[in-house]
């Protein structure tokens, strides 16, 4: 681990904005059923279209995206957008906004679907399709990968062979590390589930204020720890969740806190820039 981050910073802060809307399960795309992840917690047993949930996801594109991008611009902060490739194909205005804002796009699958049941060649093709699609949508080849939670024992090797620099499917540490099991070492940039805004869907009792307080507590503790060693904080959000008018203010308050208390000790970074330090 380096003695410090660029500029002498002690804490690297990485905001990850998930873009999944339009790439979720849908029988019109040949899936066996509709997307089961629903803010209402309703799982349909029949292979019918869930028009209500589709519109809930569409909200992330129509309203959440401009709110999140606008907020980042006002704070002068960069983020990594973990995007399912099809989501950007179907919402080119979102892809354009991400690139114009100086942000990074990390691959979040070709579609927002599980890959743990795929055979090796199917998974390799899934990775390749995501890679080429995102490059077409953004003009930049992705070098990082985040699965829809579950992945296979071959995922990391396949990513390495396909030229990826970093992998996010890890929750084991508060700092990056390198997996040297492959000919091309893979930088592991741990993600965080405990502070993810998905908690506001899975546990509706968690209010935006409580979520913001938890995120601030996480930031403050890691910043305090960073006096002894460089640390990294990840915060994951979703366009359709944090982009709601009753929730976006919580992210705004958190980013204000980072700016106010970070000073020169915090490096707000894209994940590709963090990974580059470990790939040397």
Of the candidates 220, 179, 238, 197, the one whose C-alpha atom is nearest the C-alpha of residue 56 is: 238
204: confidence class by pLDDT, cuts 50, 70, 90: confident
Residue 238 DSSP label: E
Could you tell me the pTM of the whole model?
Answer: 0.95
* pLDDT exceeds 80 at position 1: no
* Dist. CA 202–CA 84, nearest whole Å: 21
In CATH, 6-278 is 2.60.120.260: no
CB 147 within 8 A of CB 169: yes
**Is residue 203 very low, low, confident or very high in pLDDT (cuts 50, 70, 90)?**
confident
What DSSP element (H or E) covers 125? helix 120-138
CA distance 149 to 170: 9
Q: What is the DSSP letter of 270?
A: -
Q: How would you classify the pairing of strands 11-19 and 80-83?
A: parallel
Give the pLDDT confidence of 48-71 residue by residue, as tens digits. 899 999 999 999 999 999 999 999
Check if the beta carbon of residue 190 is closer than 8 Å to that of residue 173: yes
Section 193-222 average pLDDT: 93
10 Å CB burial of residue 91 (0-12, 13-18, 19+) is buried
State mean pLDDT over 175-179: 95
């Amino acid at each position: 681990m380096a003695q410090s981050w660029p500029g002498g910073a002690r804490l690297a802060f990485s905001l990850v904005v998930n873009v999944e809307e339009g790439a979720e399960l849908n029988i019109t795309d040949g899936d066996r059923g509709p997307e089961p992840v629903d803010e209402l917690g309703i799982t349909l047993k029949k292979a019918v279209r869930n028009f209500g949930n589709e519109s809930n996801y569409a909200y992330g594109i129509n309203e959440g995206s401009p709110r999140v991008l606008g907020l980042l611009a006002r704070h002068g902060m960069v983020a990594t957008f973990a995007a399912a490739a099809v989501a950007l194909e179907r919402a080119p205005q979102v892809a354009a906004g991400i690139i114009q804002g100086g942000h990074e796009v990390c691959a979040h699958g070709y579609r927002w679907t599980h890959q743990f049941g795929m055979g090796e060649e199917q998974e390799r093709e899934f990775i390749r399709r995501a890679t080429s699609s995102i490059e077409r949508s953004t003009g930049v080849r992705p070098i990082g990968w985040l699965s829809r939670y579950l992945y296979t024992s071959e995922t990391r090797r396949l990513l390495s062979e396909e030229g990826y620099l970093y992998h996010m499917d890890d929750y084991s540490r508060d700092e990056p590390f390198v997996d040297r099991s492959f000919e091309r070492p893979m930088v592991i940039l741990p993600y965080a589930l405990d502070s993810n805004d998905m908690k506001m869907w899975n546990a509706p009792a968690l209010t935006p204020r409580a979520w913001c307080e938890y995120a601030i507590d996480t930031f403050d503790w890691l910043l305090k720890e960073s006096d002894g060693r460089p640390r990294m904080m990840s915060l994951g959000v979703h366009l359709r969740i944090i982009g709601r008018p009753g929730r976006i203010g919580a992210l705004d308050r958190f980013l204000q806190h980072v700016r106010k208390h970070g000073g020169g000790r915090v490096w707000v970074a894209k994940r590709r820039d963090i990974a580059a330090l470990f790939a040397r």
